[in-house]
Structure 1
C-alpha cells in the first residue's frame, strides 16, 4: 500500500443506509410494486438488494415478480416512491451530519458515492450546506455499479486523491467490496444487513462521536 499519513486525505461516503436510513423507504416501495404487479415479495428479497445498483435491483424484481416489464421502468417507479418519502422526511443516520460538519471544519474533502440516481440525491443534499460533498458519483453516472470498483475509483480520481489515501464509509458487503477493490480502507457501520470482516475493514457501532483519525490508525495495527 502507498504511504499514508495519520488521517485520511479524503472521506468517501455511501448514501443509502450510511448517510441516510432510506432502506425502509426502498422496502416499502418494493412491497407497493409487488401489490401493483401481483408479485410475491419478502423482506429477505428486499435485503438482497441492499447496496446493489438500481438496474440490477430492477432486474431482480422483474425476475422475482415474474413480469414482462422493463427493469428500467421498475427503477423509475422505485425512485418515484423513495423520492416522495425523502421529500417528506430525510432520515439522517445518527452522527452523520455532525461528522460531515467536523470534516468540513478540518478541511477534509468528502465525496458521495451512491448507486442511487441523481434525482434522489438532490432532495437529500438540499438539507446540507453547499459544497458538503466536493464530488458526487451516482449510479446513473457509472458504467459498472457496486461491487465493481468503478464508483470509488471515479470519486477518488475526481478529488485528485489516490484511492489508497481515502477512507470509505459503508454499511453493506456490496459497498465495502467496491471500496476495497478500488484500494480504499473501509469504515463499516452495519445497519440492515451484516457485513463480513476483512483486513481492510474497521467496524463501528455508530458514527456518533467517532474519531476518524483513530479509525485510520486501526489499519496500522
Structure 2
C-alpha cells in the first residue's frame, strides 16, 4: 500500500476551489472492462449449461462479486460453492485482462489532468486487489496515490465504506471529494459517503439527481468543471 503524504497542499489551497481529492472508479469508468466481465460471466455459465441473455447484463454492472454471484445463482439455480464460482469468474476475467484493457473515452485526458495539476487522486474499485494491480501495471504512469480494492473493506459498494476509507487516507473531508463513477451502485456508494458525484453511465442508465452531475463522457470533464463541483469554503 502506498503511503500518502497528507501534509501536501490540497487543491483548495491553491486552485480557488474547495476540492481536496478525486476518487475514481475503475471498471467501466476508467478502463473498458465491462465487456470483459460480461464475457467471463456469460461464457462460464454457458459452459455450465446456463446461457445468460443480454437482458441480464445491466444487473451485473458495478456491484461487488458477492452481489453478482447472488444474482447468478438465484437466476440459474446452479449449485456451486460461492468461493469456487468467484475464483472461476475472476480467473476468466484475469485471462482476458492480461493483455491490457482499453481506456474509456476521455480517460487518458482525465489521468493527465489529475497528474499535471497535482490533484490528489485514488482508484476505488469493487474489484479484487489482484485485478486492480494488473490494471494499474498496464496503465503505466498514473496519478493515483493509492487504490482501494473490494476485498480490502468489510463492506464494498454500494456501501460508502470504500470512499470513506479513501477520503480518510487523504485526510480529506468526503464533502470536498469528487467521486467519478459509471454504475448506479457506485454512484450510490459515493453519495452515501457524502461526496460530490460525477456519473458517466456505461451500461446501466443513471438519472440526474441532487449533488450528482451526469456526463456523456469523461472527455466533458475539464479542470474548471472539476473545480466548480466543490466551492471554496467561506
Please give the TM-score of this superposition, normalised by the length of structure 2. 0.86
1:143 aligns with 2:149: no
State the Cα deviation string for residues 168-211 of structure 1 (Å, max 9, x = none). 00011110010011010011111111012211111111112631
Query: Which stretches in structure 2 are left out of the alignment for 5+ residues?
Result: 1-11
With 22-31 and 129-138 compared, the bigger mean Cα shift is at 129-138
1:162 aligns with 2:167: no
1:174 aligns with 2:199: no
Quote the residue 2:8 is aligned against: none
Distance 1:64 1:40, change over 3 A: farther
RMSD (Å), alpha carbons? 1.8
Look up the SS of the partner of 1:126 in the other structure: helix
Query: Which stretches in structure 1 are left out of the alignment for 5+ residues?
Result: none
Question: In structure 2, how many angstroms separate the alpha carbons of the residues matched to 1:176 and 1:156?
Answer: 16
What pairs with 1:19-168 in structure 2 (closer than 5 Å)? 19-129=30-140, 132-168=143-179
Quote the residue 2:212 is aligned against: 201
State the Cα deviation string for residues 60-92 of structure 1 (Å, max 9, x = none). 212212111122221211111111111123121
Question: In structure 2, how many angstroms separate the alpha carbons of the residues matched to 1:119 and 1:137?
Answer: 12
Shift of 1:127: 2.5
**Equivalent residues of 1:156, 1:162 under 8 A apart:** yes
Shift of 1:130: 5.1
Question: In structure 1, how many angstroms separate the alpha carbons of the residues matched to 2:67 and 2:81?
Answer: 12
Shift of 1:219: 6.7
Question: In structure 1, how many angstroms separate the alpha carbons of the residues matched to 2:104 and 2:142?
Answer: 20
Shift of 1:11: 0.6
Length, aligned pairs only: 217
Look up the SS of the partner of 1:168 in the other structure: strand
Distance 1:32 1:13, change over 3 A: same
